[in-house]
Amino acid sequence: MNIFQVYTVLENYNKGVIMKQSLILVLNCGSSSVKFAIIDPVSGSSELTGLIQCIGMEEASLKWEQGGDKKTQDLPHVAYQAAIDAVVCLIKESGLIDSIAAVGHRVVHGGEAFTESVVIDDEVLKKIKFCSHLAPLHNPANILGIEEAQKCLPDLKQIAVFDTAFHQTMPSYAFMYAVPYEWYNKHGVRRYGFHGTSHKFVTQEAAKKLDKPYEQCAFISAHLGNGCSAAAVLNGKSVDTTMGFTPLEGLVMGTRSGDVGPGLHSYMATTLNCDVNKVTDMLNKESGLLGITGISSDMRTIENAYLKKNEKAILAIELFCYRLAKYIMSYTVPLGRLDALIFTGGIGENGPIIREKVLGWLGIMNFEIDAELNEATVRGKSNIITKSNSPVAMVIVTNEELVIAQDAFALI
């Protein structure tokens, strides 16, 4: 669908001549959780949001919010299919089922097969399954969510929106590794990048805030949460990003190490008398902020310890900010200029200490933080946090679900 067609759809929607089904059900299915939302893709409002967590466990529960009312239902040992059934049942009881036009699915890895969102058919599902070896912790859960939604809601189109798609515009010199070329040709070894929907959303919002055409902007976006990545976005296209072949590469994260030397795997496998897969598992689940501090993977807990002068918390925060600042500085190379540095994600949106330290490391770029604005820009607020005579750094609250809903709506 071209841009003229999209505007025509939205015009007709606003005039009331489009179908009564105008909402999108967004599903984000993890290995033990299902996050869902029913979103109006035009207004951006959420009619219903919820989460089923700890699927298959005794403590499994369904939490949801509609019209300001929050409720919880225990679902002990609920199976995945029954979890999706519970979501559909809740939607029916909410009175929204007849207003849903499509289901938008977050899919973590689309490999090189998908450069944009697509309507799911048998061939698309086959290709998503083929990419599962590239994201063994994520794609199988995404696929299970798709298949269960197809069974429960057979009359609705299902749309796949990929974390990796936004980064498929990276040039080959940015995504290739210096490894035997046949590894790329035969095995798909390359840098893919993730958090694409978030980087896309916040850079588009930043362009609006600067009142500048998106296709003429140069941004560095830092998505900081339990998983972290930065991206260089030039004229509306991703030209580099920190996560690579897997989400383990790049920045320090909650439990992930980020960049380590390639020889570390074999060295630690020998030292610990275990296989390489065990080392990879430890780098994914026992490293990062948790590994350094031994306290928590949650930045809020670590900041509290930092303020109490805990040495490991101080080290973790300094390392986290230093690594991010180095990547930010390096991304001025592909951009050549910078309209704004954007902080987003749970830490990026609510971490004034982190933002101040990162900008402090970037003294050569002449950022001048506005301390009052920086402290005030938390809890769902988006704003510029630098002084008027400074290069721009800003906080943009991300909304990946809205991106999925809008892509799905455009495709139907």
CA dist 399 and 301 (Å) reads: 24
Which of 85, 155, 163, 281 is flagged as catalytic? 163
Residue type present at position 337: R
Residue type present at position 235: N
CB 193 within 8 A of CB 229: yes
Q: Up-side HSE of residue 361: CA atoms within 13 Å toward CB?
A: 19
SS3 state at 24: strand
Alpha-carbon Rg for the chain in angstroms: 22
CA-CA distances (angstroms) from residue 304 to 296, 351, 365?
A: 11, 12, 29
- The CA-to-CA distance between both ends of the chain, in Å, stands at 9
Nearest partner of 222 among 242, 208, 192, judged by Cα: 242
CA-CA distances (angstroms) from residue 150 to 32, 125, 142, 160, 171?
A: 19, 11, 12, 12, 36
DSSP string, 52-111: EESTTSTT-EEEEEETTEEEEEE-TT--HHHHHHHHHHHHHHHT-GGGEEEEEEEES--T
Work out the burial of residue 185: count CB atoms within 10 Å of its CB; fewer than 13 is exposed, 13-18 middle, 19 or more buried: exposed
163 is catalytic: yes
- List the structure tokens of 265: 């795997």
DSSP assignment letter at 31:
S
CA dist 37 and 18 (Å) reads: 22
Q: Please give the positions annotated as active site.
A: 163
